[in-house]
């Protein structure tokens, strides 16, 4: 399948992964509309860091995912919809579960309903490894039980099940991509890797939450390749597919690896506000990515060491974006 001339909508286009996906699709020749959350500044989020020539070929659409009319209008005439928009902050979901459900569940319903009405040819819905909760077995395959250990993960379980129901009930051609912990350039300090790097570049003492949890970190370029691969494979329709590296590392060992790459000695302090409630902490995530290899010939290409080096370089050049003294939720 060629992307040249194909009309594509990306929701959450101003976000971390979304901006990289828009960039990749434009490079492939797609005609991309970027659905962006309306703000009076006309701020396009992380899209502003995409090369100007590529960015000039993107059509911005400002609206609110919770508005079904706005969603439907943005989707008019689009062949493929990549639905990435969501409120993703787990600490934020503790404080504002209603907002998270409205955006993540109702917003997804609006996308699916519009796709059904408009007969959209493909919908790629974004899940998250957080829906698995703490691994009951590892590596985690797509049959692993779903556990709502935070309001955020519960909202994403609801959104995933809506996507499943629209395929089974209406035959909607929807594929669910389930990324594990994606990292890379343009990610905010809300996530652990940029939080560690930004602090380590600027401070002698860094504040973190729990160091024991194990995570599967996947470089953003590999995650984006997974989204694109899912969209071109008919075998993913009606399926959920993990996109993860298949390698796990504890947060504590991750900090040591970043310290080696940065080349600075730092002291680690536990920051109580960064700790999740005991029953909500996800202790282990490790992807079984064999289904992705089978259905869409995808596998990760970038090692953790390579990806961290690229991320460190980007953050070093954009330290003004990171308020290291403040805990970003």
Domain ranges of the chain: 7-184+218-247+286-296, 192-213+248-284+303-321
Domain spanning 7-184+218-247+286-296: CATH 3.30.70.580: no
CB 323 within 8 A of CB 317: no
Cis peptide before 139 (omega within 30 of 0): yes
Residue 112: the pLDDT is 98
Angstrom distance (rounded) from CA 159 to CA 58: 27
For 36-55, the pLDDT digits (tens) are 999 989 899 999 999 999 99
In CATH terms, the fold of domain 192-213+248-284+303-321 is UDP-galactose 4-epimerase; domain 1 (3.90.25)
CA distance 31 to 5: 6
pTM assigned to the model: 0.96
Please tell me the predicted confidence (pLDDT) of residue 323.
84
Write down the pLDDT at residue 21: 98
Three-state helix/strand/coil letters over the chain = CCCCCCEEEEECCCCHHHHHHHHHHHHCCCEEEEEEECCCCCCCHHHHHCCHHHHCCCEEEEECCCCHHHHHHHHCCCCEEEECCCCCCHHHHHHCHHHHHHHHHHHHHHHHHHHHHHCCCEEEEECCHHHHCCCCCCCECCCCCCCCCCHHHHHHHHHHHHHHHHHHHHCCCEEEEEECEEECCCCCCCCHHHHHHHHHHHCCEEEECCCCCEECEEEHHHHHHHHHHHHHCHHHCCCEEEECCCCCEEHHHHHHHHHHHHCCCCEEEECHHHCCCCCCCCCECCECCHHHHHHHCCCCCCCHHHHHHHHHHHHHCCHHHCCCCCCCC
Residue 311's pLDDT is what? 98
Low-confidence ranges of the chain (pLDDT < 70): none
Structural tokens at position 85: 């928009």
Nearest CA to 242 among 140, 104, 154? 140
For residue 317, CA distances in Å to 51, 87, 185, 202 come to: 15, 27, 10, 13
């Amino acid at each position: 399948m060629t992307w040249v001339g194909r009309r594509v909508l990306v929701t959450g286009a101003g976000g971390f992964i979304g901006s990289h996906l828009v960039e990749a699709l434009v490079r492939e020749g797609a005609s991309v509309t970027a659905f962006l959350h309306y703000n009076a500044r006309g701020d396009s989020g992380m899209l502003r860091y995409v090369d100007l020539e590529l960015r000039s070929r993107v059509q911005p659409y400002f609206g609110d995912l919770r508005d079904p009319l706005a969603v439907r209008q943005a989707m008019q005439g689009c062949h493929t919809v990549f639905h990435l928009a969501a409120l993703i902050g787990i600490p934020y979901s503790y404080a504002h579960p209603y907002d998270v459900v409205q955006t993540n569940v109702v917003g997804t319903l609006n996308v699916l309903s519009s796709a059904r009405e408009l007969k959209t040819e493909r919908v790629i819905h974004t899940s998250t490894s957080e829906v698995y909760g703490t691994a009951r077995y590892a590596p985690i395959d797509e049959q692993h039980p779903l556990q709502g250990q935070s309001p955020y993960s519960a909202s994403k379980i609801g959104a995933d099940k809506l996507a499943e129901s629209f395929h089974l009930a209406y035959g909607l051609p929807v594929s669910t991509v389930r990324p594990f912990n994606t990292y890379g350039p343009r990610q905010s300090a809300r996530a652990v890797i940029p939080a560690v790097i930004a602090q380590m570049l600027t401070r002698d003492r860094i504040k973190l939450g729990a160091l024991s949890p194990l995570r599967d970190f996947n470089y953003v370029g590999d995650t984006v390749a997974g989204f694109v691969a899912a969209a071109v494979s008919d075998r993913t329709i009606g399926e959920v597919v993990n996109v993860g590296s298949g390698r796990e590392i504890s947060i504590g060992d991750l900090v040591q690896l970043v310290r080696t790459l940065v080349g600075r000695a730092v002291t680690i302090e536990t920051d109580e506000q960064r700790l999740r409630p005991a029953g909500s902490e996800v202790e282990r995530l490790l992807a079984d990515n064999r289904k992705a290899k089978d259905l869409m010939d995808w596998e990760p290409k970038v090692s953790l060491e390579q990806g961290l080096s690229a991320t460190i370089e980007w953050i070093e050049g954009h330290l003004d974006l990171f308020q290291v003294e403040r805990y970003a939720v």
